[in-house]
Amino acid sequence: MKSFDYLPAQKLEEAVARGEPRTSRFIAGGTLLVDLMRLDVERPDLVVDLNGVLSSDIAWNEAGLTLGALARNTDVAYDDTVRREFPVLSEAILAGASPQIRNLATTGGNLLQRTRCAYFRDAAVPACNKRKPGSGCAALEGYTRMHAILGVSERCIAAHPSDMAVALLALDAAVHTRRATGERQIPLGDLHTLPGTTPELETVLEPGEVITRVVVPRSPRGRRSTYLKVRDRASFAFALSSAAVALELEQGTIRSARVALGGVGVKPWRAAATEAALVGRPATSETYRAAAKLATSGAKTTPDNAFKVPLTERVVARALERAGALA
Amino acid sequence: MDLPHQRAGYAFCLAPAMFHVQTDALAAAWRAWLCGVGAPAVLIVAADGEWGTPDRRLLDGIRGELRALGAALVVVTEGRSFCFRPDVDRDEPVPERLATGAGMRALHGLYGVEAAAQVPFTLTLLDEHGAVRAQTSARAEGGLHATLLATLRSAVENTRADERVLFSRREVVLSSLTAALALSFAASCRPHAKPPSPGAPPAASTPSTAREILVTLVVNGETHQLELEPRVSLLDALRERLALTGTKKGCDHGQCGACTVLLDARRVNACLILAVMAQNKPITTIEGLSHGENLHPLQAAFVKEDALQCGYCTPGQIMSAAGLLREKRAHTDDEVRELMSGNICRCGAYVNIVRAIRSVQESGVPT
């Protein structure tokens, strides 16, 4: 690991001011950054510690649920309000990582996770447009079983790894940030960018911009929500495909729906066509299966990951079935 | 007696054969005792004051490296003699009849070492038969303790590099130690190859990459102040600086759980935490789990249920289980399995690990 200076920020303005994109990195839980620094993928000169300047509170009020950016994954997942009002969020967090990592990992950091693409994580691989803009993409000619099928470009097919972000997307969450010019709110669906020709850019955050909290609005779908994740082993593995679904039912008819996908997109992926195919229909297996067929429309697959299309259809159908059956 | 290493200017002596000088009863007792303290053994015979009172940090480091090598250290001075074994926590005295008068003369006869003003110290590397594998009495530039630490450290590195060589572990350690001794002690007395010519500009000082800062860690109830670079992980600080090697390094990427410790009463991967970020919070390692000789109920259960094979993952498994018990979220075998998924056991001792954890839960013993 390259040597670096460490700055425990005392004020948020100080952290924002020191957030220089090429040479400094923010650290909160550290589970990702320390790993990537050890891999030499991240080589900052300065690491700015946000633990002294952000909140870890979890609060429930008229507006909904507010998660401080430092709220640890464990604390959010086991929070009584979260489990009651947004089971999909609790389930998604508990489907990710290990208890040890969840004890460290934070809400803000989880949203900014980097991909698990093996070619990105191996600094010895010369071609990675994300790591070294313009250097090419080793994955395109490599082993792509874990890679994305939605939102991919000719420059990058790396999948977004977060489970929690997928649940938050299905819950219409918004990210609140602080930047040099003040504060702003970003709907979660707008936080991450498509790789296009600039896969090195992953979010709309400006240099020095810090996520301060995440707000999940009260929702008629919140309690009827669930997360289903399929992976190579029963626990502690990244998703091959996952779905966060939230339904609002009225006398057996679907009034509104949210469906978001993980493990298949270059960013947490909203399955808008599936949602549209659910609304106004009876809450039956036939409806779920038909709507699920639309979840991966527009997918671009490789021979290694083409299996994700039928897999995702089944994951979505099963998740809808499960949500529909919730009391 | 005029052994080669005691002649002026002779820095280093590799002695593949043992010295058959004296075979009286005390010498035989010395050899038997030295063979018993662990192999290899580093025997230092030093004049009073030469060993002195080493800096605690250096001593802790020396102990840590000896543990890593599985080597013993025996220090014999006129004032005080002691022995550190890699598998025992505290120093032990050298038997009095060996470390005094006739015993010292027997040691001199056996290995040609004595504590005398003209030879401040002699360092001898002994194998499991008590045979001399290397010997030096060269003064080291950085001082005896620092050079010894550097030597041991470099030997540990060598053993890692040699992992694929098909020798016995003991031979690898011995040859690594021999090479490291030759390098650090012989190099320290090599004259400067080229003295700076008068008038030449002074050599540019090495750019400082050291960014050490003072870090306070509270481990197992004890407060330690360390000078560390920010990039040092909590795991490396525990193992390499505090010599708490019970916490294991497996993958170093948060994927195996071998480094699990409790931080602020929560289980975490010590490899993913910068030591500087773990300051002033209580840290519990496997060494702090038992109360002296009384095993923690989890430790006792792992022994009773045979919840291990090679044992490398065991400290992490036990610390993770300690966190799991505190959390009180696992109530069935399946929940224990799910919530222990951050700990990998390559031997596949999972069945008995689950059984051990469940037995502690069911016993209701306070943990």
Model confidence band, residue B118 (pLDDT cutoffs 50, 70, 90): low
What local confidence, expressed as pLDDT, does residue B191 receive? 40
Q: What pLDDT does B296 receive?
A: 97
Same domain, B75 and B35: yes
pLDDT recorded at residue B8 = 39
**CA quadruple B159, B239, B213, A55: dihedral, nearest 10:** 130
Tokens standing for residue A227: 């997360």
Mean pLDDT of chain A: 97
DSSP code per residue over B187-225: HHTSPPSSPPPTTSPPPPPPPP----EEEEEEETTEEEE
> Are residues B296 and B278 part of one domain?
no
**Cβ contact A47–B230 (<8 Å):** yes
Q: Is residue A153 part of a domain?
A: no
B103-129 CB burial, b ≥16 within 10 A, e <16: bbebbbbbbbbbbeeebbbbbbbbbee
* CA nearest to A92, candidates A116, A76, A115: A76
Residue B235 falls inside a structural domain:
yes
Residues of B at the A interface, defined by Cβ within 8 angstroms: 209, 211, 213, 229-231, 233, 252-255, 257, 260, 266-269, 271-274, 276-277, 320, 323-324, 327, 329, 337-339, 341-343
* B154-162 average pLDDT score: 75
Q: What is the per-residue pLDDT for B186?
A: 62
State the nearest Cα–Cα gap between A62 and chain B, in angstroms: 30
- A102 domain residue, yes or no: no
What's the pLDDT tens digit per position in A74-91?
999 999 999 999 999 999
Residue B100's pLDDT is: 78
Most confident listed range (A21-25, A238-242, B24-28): A238-242
Domains: count for chain B: 3
Q: B46 and B179 share a domain?
A: yes
Provide ipTM, 2 decimals. Answer: 0.97
Q: What is the mean pLDDT of residues A279-307?
A: 98
Q: What angle do CA A77, A83, A85 make, to 5 degrees?
A: 130
In a domain, B112, yes or no: yes
Same domain, B346 and B253: no
Q: Is residue B224 part of a domain?
A: yes
Same domain, B300 and B262: no
Q: Which residues pair with A241 in a beta bridge?
A: A230
Q: Is the pLDDT of residue B250 over 70?
A: yes
Angle between helix B350-363 and B314-327 (nearest 10): 40
Please identify, among B126, B155, B188, the residue that sits at the C-terminal boundary of a domain.
B188
Structure confidence at residue B167 (pLDDT): 59
Q: What average pLDDT does range B309-314 have in this prediction? A: 97
SS3 label, residue B251 = coil
How many residue contacts between A and B have a Cβ separation below 8 Å?
A: 87
Verify that B90 and B215 share a domain, yes or no.
Answer: no
Residue B122 lies in a domain: yes
3-state secondary structure of A71: coil
Given this model, what pLDDT does residue B57 score?
85
Is the pLDDT score of B187 beyond 70?
no
Looking at residue B162, its pLDDT comes to 53
- pLDDT at residue B223 is higher than 80: yes
CATH code: domain of residue A19: 3.30.43.10
Q: In chain B, whose CA is at the least distance from the CA of A233?
A: B341
Q: Does residue A249 sit within a domain?
A: yes
Residues B36 and B131 in one domain: yes
Q: Lowest mean pLDDT of B110-119, B123-132, B138-147, B314-323, name the range.
A: B110-119
Calpha distance B10→B185 (Å, rounded): 11
Give the model confidence (pLDDT) of A108-154 as tens digits: 999 999 999 999 999 999 999 999 999 999 999 999 999 999 999 99
The residue type at A101: I
The pLDDT assigned to B15 comes to 39
Task: Give the tens place of pLDDT for each residue, A299-322.
Answer: 999 999 999 999 999 999 999 999
User: In the structure, what pLDDT confidence band is assigned to residue B178 with cuts at 50, 70 and 90?
Assistant: confident
Domain boundary among A11, A36, A51: A51
Q: Report the chain A residue with the minimal C-alpha distance to residue B262.
A: A100
Band of residue B115 on the pLDDT scale cut at 50, 70, 90 = low
Report the share of chain A in percent with pLDDT over 70: 100
User: Does one domain contain both B156 and B184?
Assistant: yes
Nearest to B274 among A5, A30, A101 (CB): A30
Whether residue B312 sits in one domain with residue B272 = no
Tell me: do B277 and B302 sit in the same domain: no
Contact call for B268 and A6, based on CB within 8 A: no
Among A207-216, B126-135, B254-263, the least confident range: B126-135
Same domain, B142 and B83: yes
- For residue B14, tell me if it sits in a domain: yes
State the average pLDDT over residues B356-363. 97
- Mean per-residue pLDDT over chain B, rounded: 83
Model pLDDT, residue B116: 63
Whether residue A36 is contained in a domain is answered as: yes
- Which CATH number do you get for residue A281? 3.30.390.50
A286 domain residue, yes or no = yes
Given a cut of 80, whether residue A178 has pLDDT beyond it is yes
Decide if B194 is inside a domain: no
Q: CATH code at B350? A: 1.10.150.120
> What is the rounded distance in angstroms from the CA atom of residue A175 to the CA atom of residue A169?
11
Domain enclosing residue B302, as ranges: 291-367
B141 contacts B147 by C-beta, under 8 angstroms: yes
Provide the domain count of chain A.
2
DSSP annotation of B239 reads I
**CA proximity to A50, closest of A178, A182, A173:** A178
Residue that finishes a domain, picked among A51, A66, A93: A51
Q: Is residue B201 part of a domain?
A: no
pLDDT value, residue B205? 37
- To which residue do tokens 């499991």 refer? B128
Candidate from A265-279, B93-107, B343-357 with smallest mean pLDDT:
B93-107
Asked whether residue A320 is domain-assigned, the answer is yes
* Residue appearing with tokens 């507010």: A66
Q: Tell whether A38 is covered by a domain.
A: yes
* Residue where a domain terminates, one of B288, B323, B351: B288
Residues B24 and B146 occupy one common structural domain:
yes
Residue B200, exposed/middle/buried by CB under 10 A (0-12, 13-18, 19+)?
A: exposed
> Which residue is it, tokens 């490296």?
B65
* pLDDT confidence tier of residue B161, bands split at 50, 70 and 90: low
A9, A35, A51 — which closes off a domain?
A51
Residues spanned by the domain of A319:
227-325
Mutate to test the interface with B, among A100, A114, A235, A236 (most CBs of B within 10 A): A100
The angle at the Cα of B131, spanning B126 to B135, to the nearest 5 degrees, equals 55
B25 inside domain: yes
pLDDT band with cut points at 50, 70 and 90 for residue A42: very high
Question: Does B3 have pLDDT greater than 90?
Answer: no
Q: How many CB atoms lie within 10 A of CB A99?
A: 27
Last residue of a domain, one of B239, B267, B288: B288
> A122 in contact with B at a CB cutoff of 8 Å?
no
Q: What is the pLDDT of residues A217-263, one digit of tens each?
A: 999 999 999 999 999 999 999 999 999 999 999 999 999 999 999 99
Cα radius of gyration (chain A): 19
Residue A156 resides in a domain: no
